[in-house]
A and B are shown apart, each in its own frame.
Chain A
Amino acid sequence: MKSKRFINLAYYLVALPVALSGKLGLAADDKVCLECHGSNQQVADAASAMDLKLTAERIERLVKHPAEPGNAHTGIACVDCHPKASEIPHPADTLKQSPCGACHEDALKQVNQSAHRDPLGGSQLRAPCWACHRAHDVRSVKDPGSAMAPVNVASRCLACHAKKEYLVGVHGQAIQLAGLDVSATCVSCHGSHDILAPSEKGSRVARRNISFTCGKCHGRVAEAYRKSAHGAALTANDNPDVPTCVDCHEAHGTLDPALPKFRLASPKTCGRCHASEKIMAKYGLSTQVYSTYVADFHGTTAELFRAASPDQPLNQAVCYDCHGYHDVESVRSSGDAQIKQRLLTRCQACHKAATASFLSAWTGHYVPSPTKYPLIYWVRVFYRLVIPGTIAFFLLYIAVDIVGRRRIRRSS
């Protein structure tokens, strides 16, 4: 008890003159602040002198380390942002309102319009400046040590947003593992101060804008997409059903499309929409494209191959080998002869000796019927009748035989 009182006394002996001199404006120099906030020990001592119980984390946060080279705010004093810190003991909230806005007016204006703005319209931002830029060790984004350097962006955003799959996606890995800083970070697609929710029209990741956002780096691909059956429908009338880049490639866990895994999973990707009655009915498209693909040789192999070795290269045709991917066209946009000609070229890419008569070895997703591919249809009908007929005949005979044998056994 005695020692505690002594420390208390000592605290006021130090703090009082500091406080008085602060009032006189002497604290523009951070030296005074650092007398308490210079190290963990100092903060701990000061806290116990004030009968405050602080956790180790809290202490750590109250330490103001000396500015390192690269810190953009070396010329700014503690009290510039913490004006009320000149009162001793410090009041609950030493920070002034919107401290960054004093210099970064434009940035603050943008944040105030963004998804991170104060929902009540005040200055309590959902994500305050220091959530992304750090409070004290603020650096230029070009500085690799900056919290907003490409390699660090994800860790800041992921602190609030549960999108960890970005780290294993092709973009995240390019940055984290390959050190490829030009690869996409969160802000490359979502924007920074002006970030908007995807549901908002002006958002960089709104359906209509995604191809342009991806197109910043993937220009030719995005252009081909906008001319495709999918992209054109989106541009023309905001079609809600067509896929954008992220529907096939995933927004965050983007899989490297050159990986065998992507190729093997691709029929399922297309099938998500093209096997859905709800979506396809609107456009009069067949929902049997996926099942007919799996029933055919290529699809059967792909399906079984995927089951056993999902990450090995597959040499069977998948949807996009025939239909194209970014430039996918509607089969209605070209005539029958043209389709056949192009299909033959495709077949010959693997089946060198294929001729025009080889083309009908694939029904073009049609289910055989009396009018379309009748030969296949009738063979199927034949077996659909002969199999149950034969087996029923066998079973019937066997039943009669069993009856007969029981009768003999009983009589003998």
Chain B
Amino acid sequence: MRIVERRNGLVGLLVGLALFCVALPASAQHARLKLDHLEKLSAKAVEVNNVTLDGDMLQLAAKFLDMDKDDPESGQAKNLIKNLKGIYVKNFEFEQPNQYSAADVEEIRTQLAAPGWSKIVENRDKRANENNEIYVMKDAHNNIAGIAILVAEPKELTVVNIVGPVDLDKLSALGGKFGIPENKEKEHPKKKDITGGVP
């Protein structure tokens, strides 16, 4: 009996260890959201910012940012992204309100209801018809493994998904040109679809 118990105990320990090892990298996978269903909104938007940056391209971006040693903006950006696994941004601006549906946003919330994600900020303004949410995913060591920002405004929908150890303090404290939209051609809007890789 004792030998069987010991064997069961050992097997249990090994299974637990295997699961733990699988769970660590898997958290990075779970932190990535599926946002393909939003592609259809590009046709209705007057301005689209679509960024998919991961793997080699993200490392290349960090390298090129590092080369701009004199540029403070590039320096801040490089420090932020150097340890990330992926940056995914979908931003759609519409001329009229109600160009995206609640279902479009709900599909993202369903993913964010999965284990691992925690909602840390929720702000709803019924008068302005605006919902703002911020989620984080933490790893086994309680460090941030990913964030998701969901800003649903009447004429604009933004989803930001960053996979990896992102520093929220640094992200919101970016100075200089950050935070000021590139709006040179606001009178003549155009679509910018950047999907990783040279066109």
Specify whether A and B are partners.
no
Residue positions of A touching B, CB distance < 8 A: none
